[in-house]
Amino acid sequence: MEEFIQATAFGLLIGGVYALFASGLTLIFGVMKVINIAHGALLILGAFIAFTLWDQFGIDPLLSILIVTPLMFVLGGVIYVGTVRPLRDAPLSSTVLLTFGLALVFEAIMGLVWGNNSNSARPSYFNQSYDLLGITLPKAQVFACAIAIVVLVALWMFLSRTWTGRAIRASSTNAQGASLVGVNIAGVSALTFAVGVATVGAAGSMVSVLYPFLPGSHYIWIARVLSIIVLGGLGSLQGAVIGALILGLAEVYTQTYISTAWATAVPYVVIFLVLFFRPQGLMGTRLREDVAV
């Protein structure tokens, strides 16, 4: 029983961090119907920036979120204006190809700047843990999950308590309707893309502490994050949180009770089974065209 509680606690900590990783991607898709394949590369870029701030200036990687997030917000705005906006009304496949190309460009830039060696920040608390009623909780995971919860709550409050946030949600639900009541869809799209990239920048700071990374790591992360938002329902922030917790728990349970060799495969089998019975995801909504098919 103690082993199960230990695995559950660790799975929830990992899932909480995954939720932040996926929040920006599902937010961008919800408003713009753009699948940002560069999301994984931007996550690794955020990790490299946080790693550099820790390595060169001694800034704690988790505290560097306060620096990395605004930088990535600005970068998101630049990416949107320079590349995504011209294709805003193009078919989904066009933006997928565009963002995949951006991912390759960012991978090449990171390789040139930081090299292709594996990196990982190791602050003083990296190997320390809390002992809570016999349950061991690594400090790095606890801190990262706590920060992820704070960021997600702040994002939720922004979306639900501010006029701009309500405009984003209205655009996500019905863009034409939102436009009719005066919402500037182009402006909302730009802001949403920048916010999405900012959140992945915050997530990148956590990656720099929790996982080893190199420029090519973005392939692993985009696959994982896409799985989360597909499982939760594309465009649903709540769905992304639920999907992230399920994936985190599935990974840890697999490592604990089956084998670490199956830790990557088994969770995806679970996702396939869920989508077999509910193709729109756990919190997704079936569209009229989906029903017709």
Report the pLDDT averaged over residues 241-253: 90
pTM, two decimals, is: 0.90
Instruction: Say how far apart CA 42 and CA 238 lie, in whole Å.
Output: 22
Report the pLDDT averaged over residues 207-232: 90
Query: Residue 286: what pLDDT?
Result: 62
- Closest by Cα among 192, 288, 271 to 235: 192
Query: Residue 287: what pLDDT?
Result: 56
- Determine how many CB atoms are found less than 10 A away from the CB of residue 269: 12
Query: Residue 184: what pLDDT?
Result: 81
Report the pLDDT averaged over residues 76-89: 87
43 confidence band (pLDDT: 50, 70, 90): very high
Report the pLDDT averaged over residues 140-168: 89
Query: Residue 42: what pLDDT?
Result: 95
271 confidence band (pLDDT: 50, 70, 90): confident
Report the pLDDT averaged over residues 95-102: 92
Average pLDDT, the chain: 87
Report the pLDDT averaged over residues 17-41: 88
- Indicate whether 44 pLDDT > 90: yes
Query: Do the beta carbons of residue 203 and residue 65 sit within 8 Å?
Result: no
Q: What is the pLDDT of residues 9-26, one digit of tens each?
A: 999 999 999 999 888 888
- Closest by Cα among 4, 60, 25, 40 to 215: 40
Report the pLDDT averaged over residues 139-166: 90
Report the pLDDT averaged over residues 200-205: 93
Least confident of 10-19, 126-135, 165-174, 200-209: 165-174
- Per cent of the chain over pLDDT 70 is 96
Query: Residue 18: what pLDDT?
Result: 93
Instruction: Say how far apart CA 274 and CA 227 lie, in whole Å.
Output: 11
Least confident of 5-19, 128-142, 262-276: 262-276
- Counting beta carbons within 10 angstroms of the beta carbon of residue 84, is it exposed (0 to 12), middle (13 to 18) or buried (19 or more)? buried
Query: Residue 29: what pLDDT?
Result: 85
Query: Do the beta carbons of residue 54 and residue 275 sit within 8 Å?
Result: no
Query: Residue 293: what pLDDT?
Result: 47
Tokens of 99: 């963002």
More confident site: 49 or 33: 49
Report the pLDDT averaged over residues 237-260: 88
- Indicate whether 109 pLDDT > 50: yes
Q: What is the 3-state secondary structure (H, E, C) of the chain?
A: CHHHHHHHHHHHHHHHHHHHHHHHHHHHHHHHCCCCCCHHHHHHHHHHHHHHHHHHHCCCCCCCHHHHHHHHHHHHHHHHHHHHHHHCCCCHHHHHHHHHHHHHHHHHHHHHHHCCCCECCCCCCCCCEEEECCEEEEHHHHHHHHHHHHHHHHHHHHHHHCHHHHHHHHHHHCHHHHHHCCCCHHHHHHHHHHHHHHHHHHHHHHHHHHCCECHHHHHHHHHHHHHHHHHHCCCCHHHHHHHHHHHHHHHHHHHHHCCHHHCCHHHHHHHHHHHHHCCCCCCCCCCHHHHHC
Query: Residue 282: what pLDDT?
Result: 78
Pick the most confident of 117-131, 177-191, 200-214: 200-214
Report the pLDDT averaged over residues 218-237: 86
Query: Do the beta carbons of residue 76 and residue 200 sit within 8 Å?
Result: no
Instruction: Say how far apart CA 41 and CA 213 lie, in whole Å.
Output: 11
More confident site: 170 or 192: 192
- Closest by Cα among 28, 13, 30, 35 to 222: 35
- Per cent of the chain over pLDDT 90 is 42
